[in-house]
Structure 1
């Protein structure tokens, strides 16, 4: 990495969490708990939401009843704001989504990845994590 004399002196060490808005926490939990199988963790706050722990990073859902995601590029779903998760077996993800009749799109890039939307339209990328595959 090259040195930039005008670069910030801030030293960000890691990503702590990512958060998405959802309009209905219970409906979103069906997708994230049942369809994707994310492990839920305790939350310290009293506003509506759900937290999940994925490796070292937390994934937060925050309820806002007026929220609706807007796709800026519906034809190319991966070119919209999204969160990406790595998995050991993408074919197992496809089987799970198929069994739930939940639509998804395979990545047009040729990578082993797919894009799926939660009930509010938030885009989630799920990619074969080669570093952690068996």
Structure 2
């Protein structure tokens, strides 16, 4: 039997966006993520969340997602932990973002970035809590 791959952490996720300025306004402004420097030679923006990063990569020819969160929350998504889900929900609603509470009844919601990429926000009450 061959040895198994031992995955020890998740480093980043790459998300395609059609308009970098519009996406930066969402990820930096609405979500309040901390942008970090990057040394690549194509349009994009990197965000640091603890030991994890979100890489936005611009593709102006991108066909945006047709995910409808009101039909199902079982879509490809990135999940982020928040300290105050209600405050996050109110900020998203104030920015006219789609908000769908989790169908499971747990303290989580789903939203979308300007290109329709789904994002889950889950209330984290203590260290190590996961959904």
Q: Please report the TM-score for the alignment, with normalisation by the length of structure 2.
A: 0.89
For 1:64, the equivalent position in structure 2 comes to 59
1:54 partnered with 2:49: yes
For 1:124, the equivalent position in structure 2 comes to 119
For 1:79, the equivalent position in structure 2 comes to 74
1:55 and 1:23 map into 2 onto residues whose CA distance is: 26
1:7 and 1:121 map into 2 onto residues whose CA distance is: 40
Q: CA deviation at 1:74?
A: 6.0
Among residues 45, 67, 78, which one is paired with 2:40 in the alignment?
A: 45
1:110 partnered with 2:105: yes
Deviations 1:86-115, CA, capped at 9 Å, x for gaps: 001101101211221222111111010000
Deviations 1:62-94, CA, capped at 9 Å, x for gaps: 111121123288610x20100000001101101
- Rg larger in structure: 1
Of residues 50-59 and 63-72 in structure 1, the stretch that sits farther from structure 2 once superposed is 63-72
Q: Please report the TM-score for the alignment, with normalisation by the length of structure 1.
A: 0.87
For 1:3, the equivalent position in structure 2 comes to none
Unmatched tracts of structure 1, length 5 or more: 1-5
Whichever structure has more helix as a proportion of its residues is: 1
For 2:87, the equivalent position in structure 1 comes to 92
Unmatched tracts of structure 2, length 5 or more: none
Q: CA RMSD in A?
A: 1.9
2:52 and 2:31 map into 1 onto residues whose CA distance is: 16
